[in-house]
A and B are shown apart, each in its own frame.
Chain A
Amino acid sequence: DQQVKQNSPSLSVQEGRISILNCDYTNSMFDYFLWYKKYPAEGPTFLISISSIKDKNEDGRFTVFLNKSAKHLSLHIVPSQPGDSAVYFCAASRRVNAGGTSYGKLTFGQGTILTVHP
């Protein structure tokens, strides 16, 4: 049962344009969401996060949108740069401590390979 899904295995974008990466989740108990960027053989690099009490969070070129009713989040990168080319993972967690729930436990999607062409 995959609770976090990234349905697009890959995305190709021209430099300077917007990249939109999507993520869907099924567990309504998730209340904190994160996006990571990853290169092969390296650890994921934290990009941006959002709490379920918000619907948008922005940090520089990165904006995350959360639609709780649709159980959907997206990461917008504007403008896209060739250095953004990597695998992007969304992750979800439950922050409410209910009988041992862990703040550190993240459930990841399968990732989307982003390629930004010069």
Chain B
Amino acid sequence: KAGVTQTPRYLIKTRGQQVTLSCSPISGHRSVSWYQQTPGQGLQFLFEYFSETQRNKGNFPGRFSGRQFSNSRSEMNVSTLELGDSALYLCASSLGGPGASVHFGPGTRLTVL
């Protein structure tokens, strides 16, 4: 079974621009969540989607948004990019129920110049 895939793997943007990252979960997984990893803050939860609905949201500004499609694929958008948004963005998927393990994709490395 194919794992979680993320595109693109690397991205360079400038301040003020916006970016959209894409994630395809493991087949059959209905929950998709997004995380940001930075050297200073570690792995921080952004939000989770289940059956196209946002179930939970972390402590990030409104510039960070996401959505999930009917096929469970998810996109994350960051508007008005800031230098501090440079990070590894990780997508994870799970079956979405109690005790379900959460599997991560390889991540998208975003660099904001």
Contact = CB atoms under 8 A, between A and B. Distances in A.
Contact of A104 (B96, B105, B109): B96
B20 interface: no
A17 interface: no
Q: Is the interface of A mostly helix, strand, loop or mixed?
A: loop
B21 interface: no
A34 B56 contact: no
Given A41-B88, A41-B109, A103 B104 contact: no
B56 A100 contact: yes
Contacts of B43: 44, 89, 91, 106, 108
A110 B42 contact: yes
B4 A43 contact: yes
A100 B42 CA distance: 24
A103 B101 contact: no
A63 B29 CA distance: 26
A103 B100 contact: yes
B106 A42 contact: yes
Contact of B48 (A34, A91, A105): A105
Interface in B57-112: 58, 88, 90, 92, 94, 96-107, 109
Interface in A77-118: 89, 91, 95, 100-111
Nearest to A93: B102
